[in-house]
Amino acid sequence: MKDSNSPKPSRPDGDPSSAGRDESQRQNLGRAVRHSALPLKRLWLHYFSMGGTAGEYELNAYIHSLYSLPEFQQDILAQAANEMIDMLPSPPRASYSDEADHDWASNAEIQR
């Protein structure tokens, strides 16, 4: 009998190209989450609110290559992460000499 808690393959076995795409998508997601310092709990809540079905534990395991998600769930998770990344404030930028007397808020307005 198969353990119901074991990871489910995200695509049919035997297709090495799909396995490579899965891993590449997972790696890209992991890099984006780490680079943006997205809190996993908040990411999971956003993913779940969008119809994601994996639990917080599975999402964490997926990001760390310990669990597989079906393709549709991978895409919902990618959408959730991208939406959260888009909501992050832009990092402060260095000003040029003709902008040096502006404050940070003004520089942010200039960059938009």
**Alpha carbons 20 and 88: distance in angstroms, whole number:** 30
pTM of model > 0.85 = no
Confidence of residue 91 (pLDDT cuts 50, 70, 90): confident
Confidence of residue 95 (pLDDT cuts 50, 70, 90): confident
The burial class, CB within 10 Å (0-12 / 13-18 / 19+), for 108 is middle
Check whether 11 has a pLDDT greater than 90. Answer: no
Q: Apex CA 14: angle with CA 66 and CA 57, to 5°?
A: 15
Q: What is the pLDDT of residue 99?
A: 79
Decide if 68 contacts 10 (C-beta within 8 A). Answer: yes
Q: What is the pLDDT of residue 108?
A: 53
Q: What is the pLDDT of residue 55?
A: 97
Check whether 32 has a pLDDT greater than 70. Answer: yes
**Alpha carbons 90 and 19: distance in angstroms, whole number:** 34
Residue type, 61: A
Q: Apex CA 53: angle with CA 52 and CA 58, to 5°?
A: 105
**Alpha carbons 20 and 70: distance in angstroms, whole number:** 14
Q: What is the pLDDT of residues 42-73, one digit of tens each?
A: 999 999 999 999 999 999 999 999 999 999 99
Q: What is the pLDDT of residue 63?
A: 94
Report residue 22 as tokens: 């899965």
